[in-house]
Amino acid sequence: MKHKLLIVILLTTLAVACEEHEGRLIQRGVELRLAIAREFERLKSEQVPTNRPVTVDATVSKFIPPRTPFQDAIAILRAGHFTVGEPYSFSFAGPDGRQTEARLVHAEQTLAKYFGGATEVTILLDVDSVNPPPTVVKQAEGYIKTTYL
């Protein structure tokens, strides 16, 4: 009987810990969204042109630092209302001519819409693998860009 009670107590404690962890991820996602919105407003007030990508790497990496578990990063992005794509990989020639493989996850969010255009934030997660599925984020970076039709 004591073992059953102990198991119930452990499972309850684990469930509470999981809920707290999930709540912290949701909070980080909301804070990420607000931080990027503040960065966009700052760029507008300083009249920084965003017709070319403007990096927000420092902001993004505060909320998704290196070695963040992949599932946590996805939860943060979704809580921040980002549309998150599937992991993909591609190869390219590095500066030394050697082939390098990049493994990325792409997430987007529209910050503002205009007649004939929009400003979007894009976040790229550099992940450890694609197949098998990613387990950790090696680096997160982002940029804001305005496009016009």
3-class state of residue 59 by DSSP? helix
pLDDT at 4: 63
Whether this model's pTM surpasses 0.85 = no
| 26 within 8 A of 77, measured Cβ to Cβ | no
For residues 64 and 136, give the distance between their C-alpha atoms in angstroms, rounded to a whole number.
11
User: Residue 64, exposed/middle/buried by CB under 10 A (0-12, 13-18, 19+)?
Assistant: buried
Percent of the chain surpassing pLDDT 70: 87
Q: Please name the residue that has the structure tokens 């987007």.
A: 108
Residues 27-80 pLDDT 10s: 999 999 999 999 999 998 999 988 999 999 999 999 999 999 999 999 999 999
pLDDT at 62: 96
- Residue 85's pLDDT band (boundaries 50, 70, 90)? very high
- Residue 5's pLDDT band (boundaries 50, 70, 90)? low
pLDDT at 11: 47
